[in-house]
Amino acid sequence: MHKQCQCGEPMGLELRKVIYASKVEILHVPVFSCPSCFSSEVLQHVTKDIKELLQSLGSKPAPRRISFARNHELAEIIRKLILEEADNPHVDWQSALEERMELRINLLLDLYRYARSLGDEEWMSDVEKRLLQLSGFTSKSVLTNTKN
Sites of contact with Zn ion (CB under 5 A): 5, 7, 9, 34, 36-37
Q: Please, which residue, 9 or 126, has the CB nearer to Zn ion?
A: 9
CB of 87 to Zn ion, least distance (A): 24
Contact (CB, 8 A) for 45 and 27: no
Q: Please, which residue, 12 or 61, has the CB nearer to Zn ion?
A: 12
CB of 57 to Zn ion, least distance (A): 32
CB of 124 to Zn ion, least distance (A): 44
**CA of 87: how far to CAs of 11, 43, 82, 90, in Å?**
17, 22, 9, 9
CB of 17 to Zn ion, least distance (A): 21
- E-assigned strands of 34-142? 40-42, 64-67
| Helix (H), strand (E) counts: the chain | 6, 4
Name 32's bridge partners: 13, 41
Q: Please, which residue, 40 or 67, has the CB nearer to Zn ion?
A: 40
Q: Please, which residue, 10 or 136, has the CB nearer to Zn ion?
A: 10
Residue type, 28: H
